[in-house]
Amino acid sequence: MELHIVIQGRKDLANQLYDQLRDNIESGRLAAGVQLPPSRLLAAQLGLSRKTISDTYSRLTYENYLIGKIGSGTFVNSVSAHTPRTRISSALASQKSVKKWQDITLPLRHPTLEDTLRCDFVGGATAKTQFPHDDWRRCTQYALRQMAQARGFYSQPEGLAPLRSAIAGHIAFARGVKCTAEDVVVCNGAQQALDLIARVLIEPGCTVAMEDPGYTPARLLFAAQGANVVGVAVDSEGIIVEQIPENAHAIYVTPSHQMPLGMPMSVARRQALLEKASRIGAIIIEDDYDSEFRYEGRPTDSLQSMDPFGVVAYVGTFSKTLLPELRLGYAVLPKVILEAVTKAKQLTDWHTCTLPQWALTKFISAGLLNKHIRRCHSIYAGRRERILARFTGDLSPWMEAIPSTAGFHMAVMFKVPINLGLLVELARKVEIGLYPLTGFYHNVQPRNGLILGFGAIETLDIDPALDRLRALLIQIA
């Protein structure tokens, strides 16, 4: 690779070279430790004498920008004596828009490897020990063979046809979704599906209704696109339909496993929601994020399967069943917005990477997804029972769990006044990750509680973690 240096004319050649090399080092374009080309090679590249190159290298070495290593070459010095230049920026015409995005506080960020705690009750995450690495590796090899046969063109924005067909079959079997492959758009996780649907439904100032408490990243996404987001209270049956504004363009709900409280939406409430959405012309965005894991009661179909009006956009993800890092999700769209969302997908990123698409196609069609879900279901069921036993046992004086029949998180509420910030801080010091419910509330008065995810914490770590939590509650409550 050639070093990017531009020499103009035939005058002041050494100073031109010196100024550009120094600027590249000070700006960071030439990072500490990078090796510069040998003087003979750079001289041939730039059409300069070797002496000009050597003299410039010597000058920069004297000023501590470069360091020569005998037998190895010339390198950018990692301990330079120079002071970085300060760039003076002009006023930005789009500063108001930029500041709007800068001011967003991003919730639910998962910890980095360095910040990971031994016992982390983070929601929406799974343990890598459960991921079928060998099966996925074989599926990835299959994907590489498929890609080798392709012509190297861009793929279709709606996703690979075999994967869309596999997804349609899987969700019809597992969730009762009524669709064909043509209704499916493959996305980079459920969050992109929400973004694409919002792009075609939302204009600045229009109203979006959603559960309160609800999934905060969805609320922030809708607001960032200019929507007036109205939080609608929930009760034991789900969102209170009568409180949904008549001018809502979209209604975001999590009917199978309410985020974050966990209760399912009743059949009567679902029917009322569908009728209202049809009457006011709103699209219902059904986020069915983790309902494939159900532990008690009769299975509930998706809201989309009950829709006689064609107003439900069904959003699903493989982040909960497989790994969040794969960034694979999908949307099953009503005809009225399907074409618009497909075009928005193409304009956004053209299409989702085809390598994981082919791998997932093989994973589903070979029956490996259902096998993996069955295995994880048994693990999550055991963790859920252990947590419930503790909150109906020795932790019951302080907290109570809200019954949740699906997913791999639950909400627990405090029965006594508690300094929640202090509890979270002290818990981190003893290697426990706790996450308050307060960040999920918008217009409704927050309740004091925690969201306990049990997908990422190992089963054997649950009791020791809750023992430490109990000790902290005795200390500060």
Write the CB contacts of 296 (distance below 8 Å, at least 6 apart in sequence).
405
Count of beta carbons in the 10 Å neighbourhood of residue 149? 6
pLDDT digits (tens, 9 = 90+) for 132-156: 999 999 999 999 999 999 888 999 9
In the chain, the percentage of residues whose pLDDT exceeds 70 is 96
Strand order in the sheet with 248-253: 184-187, 329-332, 312-317, 283-287, 248-253, 207-212, 228-235, 238-239
Which residue ranges form the domains of the chain, and what is each CATH number? Answer: 13-76 (1.10.10.10), 119-127+371-476 (3.90.1150.10), 133-366 (3.40.640.10)
For residues 291 and 314, the answer to whether their CB atoms sit within 8 Å is no
**What span, in angstroms and rounded, lies between the C-alpha atoms of 50 and 46?**
10
For residues 457 and 111, the answer to whether their CB atoms sit within 8 Å is no
Q: What is the mean pLDDT of residues 29-46?
A: 89
CA distances from 456 to 120, 394, 432, 459 (A): 7, 23, 12, 9
pLDDT at residue 4, as a whole number? 82
**What span, in angstroms and rounded, lies between the C-alpha atoms of 345 and 332?**
14
Long-range contacts of 272-276 (CB under 8 A, 24+ apart): 272/241, 273/238, 273/239, 273/241, 273/244, 273/303, 274/303, 274/306, 274/307, 274/308, 274/309, 274/311, 274/312, 276/241, 276/244
pTM: 0.85
Main-chain dihedrals φ then ψ at residue 177, nearest 5 degrees: -70, 135
For residues 289 and 455, the answer to whether their CB atoms sit within 8 Å is no
pLDDT digits (tens, 9 = 90+) for 263-317: 999 999 999 999 999 999 999 999 999 888 888 766 678 999 999 999 999 999 9
The distance of Cα 77 from the centroid of its chain, to the nearest Å, equals 38
**What span, in angstroms and rounded, lies between the C-alpha atoms of 449 and 427?**
15
What is the residue type of 152? G
For residues 337 and 197, the answer to whether their CB atoms sit within 8 Å is yes
Handedness of CA 216, 219, 221, 223 (dihedral sign): negative
pLDDT digits (tens, 9 = 90+) for 182-220: 999 999 999 999 999 999 999 999 999 999 999 999 999
pLDDT band at 83 (very low <50, low <70, confident <90, very high): low
